[in-house]
A and B are shown apart, each in its own frame.
Chain A
Amino acid sequence: MSAPATEDGIRRLRMPLSREDARSLRAGDMVLLDGEIVITAGLPTCQRLVECAEGRRELPRPLDGTGLFHLGSYSREAPDGGFEVLYMNPTTSTRFNALMPGLIRHFRLSAVGGKGGLDAACAEAMREVGCVYLSFVGGGAPLLSDAIREVVSVHWNDLVSHYRLVTLRVEGLGPLTVGIDAQGNSLYADLSQAAADRMPAIMAELARARAAAEGAP
């Protein structure tokens, strides 16, 4: 069931997203998330996930249909033997561009995210499986970390903290902006294209302002 929009137009969604919810979102929508998410900021981690997908390594937790986000976190062992996460924040997603289409297709991810977006090949994989890209604000550590309700699991502790594969239960995570929707619409691609299209006009305006400045007394 897709959730209705709240009063301020921000939709509140349960994670992992149902395909129906994922496909109902449109680029530019804003959302809040409740439920379980999987996070890592590590390229080595995503390389391990590729190995898992290829059957060369054991997957530490099932990922089918989950939301996998490019978020780094500081996790440490708590006195009770479990883990605590002190803070989390997004990292640049584009550096995972080469690995994400394979991971999105293999694990049929319902949501990915981080900051800065993903490329066209990723958007195509997302369209195929019904997956959205969610933009987290960079430098949003206090706000984003306050949404953590439980550290469900921490895997691959041999890696530095922000590279670990961490599963969290969150409540009201966001607001996040849908950067790429499951129809293949990408704010990032659209904005880059629009900016490139505007460049002749922008350069003409710079020339006009330069001439005016040079002509000034």
Chain B
Amino acid sequence: MPITYDMMKRTTAQLYEWSLRKVPDDTLDALRRARETETNTVAQRTLGILLRSAEMAETQDRLVCSDSGVPTYTIAIGTGVRLEGDIRRAIEDGFDELVATTNPPLLKHVTNPLTNERGYRGKDMPLVTWDIVDGADHVDITCQPKALGSGRWAALEIFTFPTLERIEEYVMECVLKAGSQHCPPVNIGVGIGGSFDHCAKMAAKATLRQYGTTNPEPVLAAMEERLLRAVNATGFGPMGTGGDTTALGVHIEYCAGHGFTPVAVAFNCWINRRTRARLYGDGRLERVE
């Protein structure tokens, strides 16, 4: 059976709605662990407030943050899947319907960059990254409402045959620049290599990885570990008012490139908003996170 317009419309809207109310479990666990090890009293309390806010949102069906961001999706289509109808339009229509019906209503965050006018619709919204998965019999959909409180601190620079030292130094420069601003403790995604656009996508994709996962490449696994310690040695702390917990994880993705190597750094705020589900041809929706 095909995956239809209606299924895509419903699923993408649902994922968005869920992501505004539920802090992912790996993130809650990481916040709890951080609260146990924090040595700064204000930071410990702040982590407690964040956890309380997350709990209230989940149990009382409320928004964690008033900034519901702009809708972004990463969609991987299995080659065993048949699609029917206007799948791209389904995502747009799903967001329109969500805006019209969701309770409480969402604030207008979709911004026309030429006029700074804000609304619910805009050119190319929702933002979608498409991918193909060989052999899979489902469509894998990740929703990541993106707000610029943390998103605006993302950065990319292209280096000439950089050493690992230079790459790490650049990540730390970005961390220092963001300082107290990005609603820490953050999830840091780093992309190394590829092209300009591909590198930025890798950094964004890296922020989707669960806390506790490491890159299978030993060089990068070690880099993730030492960079996390380095970031937390800066002392910005939860909500940037001081403490040991500035980041809960550093996730790095890489790919081959040309030697003129882009390095991209992206940040997710403490809420680490993301939901993910698999949609099967028989209509089954499997919630992954």
Contact = CB atoms under 8 A, between A and B. Distances in A.
B165 interface: yes
B184 to A, nearest CB: 9
A16 interface: no
A179 to B, nearest CB: 6
A191 B236 contact: yes
A196 interface: yes
B60 to A, nearest CB: 6
Given A137-B46, A188-B240, A89 B66 contact: yes
Interface of A: 28, 30, 72-74, 76, 86-89, 91-92, 94, 115-117, 135, 137-143, 145-146, 160-162, 175, 177, 179, 187-188, 191-192, 194-196, 198-199, 201-203, 205-207, 209-210, 213, 216
Interface residues of B, number: 57
A61 to B, nearest CB: 22
B183 interface: yes
Contacts of B38: none
A192 B269 contact: no
Contacts of A72: 66-67, 107
Interface in B44-58: 45-46, 49-50, 52-54, 56-57
Nearest to A209: B226
B226 A194 contact: no
A92 B149 contact: yes
Interface in B214-239: 218-219, 222-223, 225-227, 229-230, 233-237, 239
A198 B146 CA distance: 31
Interface of B: 42, 45-46, 49-50, 52-54, 56-57, 60, 62-67, 104-108, 118, 149, 152, 164-165, 168-169, 172, 176, 179-183, 218-219, 222-223, 225-227, 229-230, 233-237, 239-242, 269-271
- Which 7 residue pairs are nearest across A and B when measured between Cβ atoms? A89-B66, A142-B56, A138-B183, A213-B222, A209-B226, A195-B234, A116-B181
9 contacts: A30-B45, A87-B63, A139-B54, A139-B271, A142-B56, A143-B49, A160-B118, A175-B49, A213-B222
B105 A142 contact: no
Contacts of B229: 205, 209
